[in-house]
Amino acid sequence: MKRRSVPKMQAVKNAVHRKRAVATVYFVLRALVILTMIRQAFNRNYENVFLCALTLVLFLLPTVIERRLRIDFPDTMEIIILLFIFSAEILGEIRSYYTTFPGWDTVMHTLNGFLCAAVGFSLVDLLNRNERFSLSLSPVFLAIVAFCFSMTIGVLWEFFECAADTFLLKDMQKDTVLSTISTVALDPTGGNTPVIIRNIEDVIVVSGGRQIPLGLGGYLDVGIRDTMKDLFVNFIGATVFSFIGYFYLIGRGKGRFARRFIPLVLEDETDGTP
């Protein structure tokens, strides 16, 4: 038992030393999340306390995936994942960056498309290189799979946002103010001819017999434009990494940039004489 435990302890020490940058980012972000959680608890904002707890759990995902699949995430990818989780949950939701900075949501969805394509590419590439699976996929097909994986995750997330807006009234699919709309609902003949209304200045909502001017300077689009914008920037991020992954495989793993986002298969430490 002692002879086996010494190599394992040494492997842990080497991993900590090798991933010093990742460990530093992890502990700093973890401390910030815990401080935020304490503050939200004092303010009795228990929903934000739950978000902080969820963030702490999400921080553990890269490590859990590494151990389960026996892979090693590159430091760059792992740090970006941690920063992405912190930016989306703590800064975006609790600190209201999604409404304070108009481009924050766009950046998050673009990065999400890029990272999900990297994850999808890596998973299929690992299967492609594993002798236990009879896969021999071309670089083009690997790039297409990575792209489709990223877009699927993006669509599923939009489903989640729509469900949260429908049943919990969370307004995750942010509204957009439009000055021009076209709709067949106003066709006087009841047909399929769109009626175009331009230069919309305001919309009046009737609720409980009261007329409430919204004063938004236009028509309030409920989430459609935001959803399509999110999917489009997810498409951009997925496309960018799919091309990077394709040329990485064409160059037989010589691309330095792509290597920062593609996990490596770990050797089995139990092989050999104990």
Are the beta carbons of 30 and 89 closer than 8 angstroms?
Answer: no
pLDDT per position as a tens digit, 43-56: 999 999 999 999 99
pTM (predicted TM-score): 0.84
pLDDT of 1 reads 45
Name the range with the highest mean pLDDT among 29-43, 198-212, 251-265: 29-43
pLDDT of 133 reads 59
Counting every residue written for the chain, the total comes to: 274
Q: Which two tokens stand for residue 15?
A: 């991993």
Name all contacts of 93-101 with Cβ < 8 Å and 24+ positions apart.
93/48, 93/51, 94/36, 94/40, 94/48, 94/51, 94/52, 98/174, 99/174
Name the range with the highest mean pLDDT among 8-12, 104-108, 268-272: 104-108
| Alpha-helix residue ranges (DSSP H) falling in the chain | 2-18, 20-42, 46-59, 61-69, 75-86, 97-100, 104-129, 139-167, 224-250, 256-259
Are the beta carbons of 241 and 76 closer than 8 angstroms?
Answer: no
Quote the crossing angle between the two packed helices 20-42 and 75-86, to the nearest 10°.
Answer: 10
- Residues 157-171 as b/e (b if ≥16 CB within 10 A, e otherwise) read bbeebeeebeeeeee
pLDDT of 7 reads 52
pLDDT per position as a tens digit, 170-197: 889 988 999 999 999 999 999 999 999 9
pLDDT per position as a tens digit, 114-157: 999 998 888 887 777 766 655 677 889 989 999 999 999 999 99
Rg of the chain over all Cα atoms, to the nearest angstrom: 24
